[in-house]
Amino acid sequence: MIILLKPIFFFLCFFFYTPFSVSSTPPTEISALKSFKSSIKPSSIPPYSCIGSWVFSSDPCSNPKTIHFLCGLTCDDSNRVVSITLDSVGYSGTLTPLVSQLSQLVVLDLGQNSFYGTIPPSISSLSLLQTISFRFNSFSGSIPSSIGQLKSLQDLDFSGNSLSGQLPNTLFLLSRLTRLDLSFNKFSGQLPKLPLNLLELAIKGNSLSGLITKFSFTGLTQLETVELSSNSFSGVLQSWFFQLPSLQQINLSNNSLTGVEIWKPSQGYNELVAVDLGFNKIEGYLSVNFTNYPVLASLSLRYNRLRGPIPLEYCKKSSLRRLFLDGNYLSGSPPAGFFTSGGKYSTLSGSLGDNCLQGCPRKSQLCLPTQKPMSMCKQIYGGKKPRKF
Ligand SMILES: *[C@@H]1O[C@H](CO)[C@@H](O)[C@H](O)[C@H]1NC(C)=O
Ligand SMILES: *[C@@H]1O[C@H](CO)[C@@H](O)[C@H](O)[C@H]1NC(C)=O
Ligand SMILES: *[C@@H]1O[C@H](CO)[C@@H](O)[C@H](O)[C@H]1NC(C)=O
């Protein structure tokens, strides 16, 4: 009986299992993958690379991954492509617009290759996409404004390309986005309204200009890191900025800011660890209010146009590890507490050099480089000797 039933059992199994066992990657996805590969110059595809193993005599998702499709893509249980994560071997080519046919795609990572051309607007239809990294390729043109449709996007990294133009106003529609890195491109114009759930914002090394406005940052209650150095931002950095409740690290060095307003932290607004505002055009006095941020460990205001004394509170601030105030017109005597040997401030590094300070002890590392010549300081202080404080 059992012997008789066995073939029937196998037959039934085969019959019912067939649609699943030979199920394969949908044709639209195969054609998208073929187009993806054929948009890359064959000469830039090493045989040992991931894309080198994309040989379409096998099914991309369902073949046993021992000969072909060894890496570079993953599929889900229904043989749909969910991620493309390329190796960095110097693939050179364009990104096919047909990538939009991979409708279950969650991750698209082409990082550190040589993709060029424009970013196809069709990627905006990939509604499940959570991570895009095109970092360090050669993409050019602007970011398609349809990007705002990527409702699932959490991590967007276009850093290190040749993208240009204004940042799209639709960026703020990316309501799940927590990390945005557009550093080292050629973006210009003003900072648009930013997505509300950002934790990390990095757009360093571009040509953004105008003011840092409340309009861009309102509601960004989770923002921890702001990296906007080496742009052309101007005007006064206003006090609301430092009140963003989760802010920890700010780098706005190498811009054209002319002033900085900082208030004492409000209750609960006190996570600020590092502030770099060096190489701007900041005028006015050094505010004592920085010292009211309880965990501030690193402050740079080097190479600005600050004048007046260094408030005593700076040498009493025990959380401070790095203090760069060199290259300003600070005057008076630096607080003696900076130089008490063996004291708890001996761990402070940085510089008070290249100012108009008097009596900065030469033997202290903090006093290097030497102060400005008296003649330059006199000029700045309207011919008067810098006031002694
Ligand atoms: C300052 O920014 C300019 C572009 O605005 C850039 O060319 C230069 O390398 C930057 N300097 C530093 C020290 O980062
Ligand atoms: C701020 O950015 C500049 C330029 O990118 C960099 O040289 C500097 O080290 C950064 N500051 C801090 C505190 O990391
Ligand atoms: C310090 O902050 C307070 C508000 O907390 C403000 O009124 C005052 O002007 C600030 N002082 C300086 C020197 O910036």
Residue 121, both tokens: 């607007």
Q: Please report the atom of ligand 1 found closest to the CA of residue 207.
A: 5
Q: Relative to the alpha carbon of 206, which ligand is closest?
A: 1
Residue 385, both tokens: 């000797």
Task: Give dist(CA 313, CA 23) in Å, integer.
Answer: 71
Residue 183, both tokens: 């550093």
Helix %, strand %, coil % for the chain, to 5? Answer: 25, 25, 55
* Residues 248/273, Cβ–Cβ less than 8 Å: yes
178: Cβ–Cβ under 8 A, 6 or more apart, which residues? 154, 155, 197, 198, 199, 200, 222
Instruction: Tell me, using a 6 A CB cutoff, whether residue 274 lines ligand 2.
Output: yes
Task: Quote the pTM value.
Answer: 0.91
* Token pair 């861009």: residue: 216
- What distance in angstroms lies between residue 20's CA and the mean position of ligand 3's atoms? 69
Q: 190, 227, 187, 234: which is closest to 207 by C-alpha?
A: 187
Q: 377, 282, 278, 260: which is closest to 330 by C-alpha?
A: 377
- pLDDT digits over 42-87, tens only? 999 999 999 999 999 999 998 677 789 999 999 999 999 999 999 9
- Substitution candidate for ligand 2 out of 203, 251, 296 with most atoms within 8 A of CB: 251
Supply the pLDDT for residue 387.
Answer: 52
Task: Give dist(CA 200, CA 217) in Å, integer.
Answer: 12
Supply the pLDDT for residue 384.
Answer: 57
CA atoms within 13 A on the CB side of 100: 13
Whose alpha carbon is nearest atom 3 of ligand 1? Answer: 230
Instruction: Quickly state the pLDDT bin for 13 (edges 50, 70, 90).
Output: very low
Supply the pLDDT for residue 128.
Answer: 98
